[in-house]
Structure 1
Amino acid sequence: MLAATIAMTTLGGCMSDEKKEAAKNAPLPRMSHEGAQTWARNFTERLAKSIGEPVGPRTPDARFLKCGGKNGETATDDRFILMYSAWVKIPAERHNEAARKLRKILVDEGYTITTERSYKAPKQSMILEARPKKGGFFIAIQSAAVKGEFPEITLGVDSPCMIPPGATQSHQ
């Protein structure tokens, strides 16, 4: 879902052909793979700490993908998207409270909430998605908790299409 949002944001919505061409060839944000992963790790650790729990012992999942165009085309200039996930163990009865705290943090930091759902007992669960107002990482937070179990909240971070420092951006 976030990848589709990234693609739409990167490619632009309804604009003239001239504006589409300019947007398509606009300079991409520059960041190394390591820099992007460090940013995502620090951000998810900070979110976890804000709800009173550390990121769990499960190794975060970091996947680097090639940026794709709206017709499936890929560039050859090393541009990438990072999809990063970390997990926080938290009692089921605290999931919705955690969602409220995380929502406030994201809004306070300038994110726009694009999806928000939460459900009450016996199954507390939530989905919270946010995008930055200007360039930056997309955030997806979700859980499915059944009372009495000790499940996890997933903290997902997807980068926009970026290009490593030193790489020459191709124009198509």
Structure 2
Amino acid sequence: MSTPGPNDPLPVKARQDAQDWAQHMTEYMAQTAGTALDPGSAEPKFSNCVGKNDEVRDDGRYKLTYVAYSSAPLEQHPEAVRKVRAMLEQQGFKVDGYRETTDGKVDTILDASQESSRYLVTVETTTGGLLLFRVRTPCLMLPAPSPTSH
């Protein structure tokens, strides 16, 4: 697959489909990490796409940031993040950032992106000691409404 260009049409995906995919991806990352997501911790947030000159089009374009948490013990975070990193690399994601600190304080973060889809994923230790799993979509376009027959 080639890298999308700035003038290529936006990917088309219904909001529910994007949210379902993000939920599946966070669950898969947590499973790979050897942990489970905390029930009720998912936070889907839809927002407008903003252009480089702060312009916003009113044509249904949107982005989704989907976050879910796990209360896996802190000492498990580094190994969990390593497992997710290996899985993502195997699936063609590029690691954009990685940090693992255990000198008295566990602090892990993994940022990865998939060039073909422009999806971004993050796994990190939060300030409160939870393990955060995040999926961010690129700007997506809603499918055209289907014609209705009368």
TM tier relative to shorter chain: 0.7 to 0.9
- For residue 53 of structure 1, the aligned residue among 35, 47, 54 is 35
Q: Does 1:80 align with 2:62?
A: yes
Tell me if structure 1 keeps the 8 A contact 2:96–2:112.
Answer: yes
Q: Calculate the TM-score normalised by the size of structure 2.
A: 0.88
2:117 paired residue among 118, 135, 138: 135
Asked if 1:69 is matched to 2:51, the reply is yes
Residue 38 (str. 1) matches residue 20 (str. 2): yes
Tell me which residue corresponds to 1:151.
Answer: 129
Give the CA deviation at 1:136: 3.9
Gaps of 5+ in 2: 146-150
Unaligned stretches of 5+ residues in structure 1: 1-8, 13-22, 168-172
Q: Which residue of 2 aligns with 1:120?
A: 102
In the alignment, which residue of structure 1 is the partner of 2:9? 27
CA RMSD of aligned residues (A): 1.9
Aligned mates of 2:81, 2:41 — CA distance in 1: 22
Query: Structure 2: how far apart are the matches of 1:58 and 1:152?
Result: 14
Amino acid at match of 2:30: A
- Large movers: runs of 4+ above 2 Å: none
Q: Are the counterparts in 2 of residues 86 and 156 from structure 1 also a CA contact under 8 Å?
A: yes
Aligned partners of 1:136 and 1:159 also within 8 Å: yes
Query: 1:151 deviation in Å?
Result: 3.1
Q: Report the count of equivalent residues.
A: 143
**How many Å separate the matches in 1 of 2:143 and 2:35?**
34
Could you tell me whether the CA contact under 8 Å between 1:123 and 1:144 is conserved in 2? no
> Contact 2:126–2:132 at 8 Å: present in 1 too?
no
Q: Secondary structure at the match of 1:123?
A: coil
Q: 2:81 aligns with which of 99, 118, 122?
A: 99
Inter-partner Cα distance in structure 1 for 2:120 and 2:33? 19
- Aligned-pair distance for 1:59? 2.8
Structure number with higher helix proportion:
1
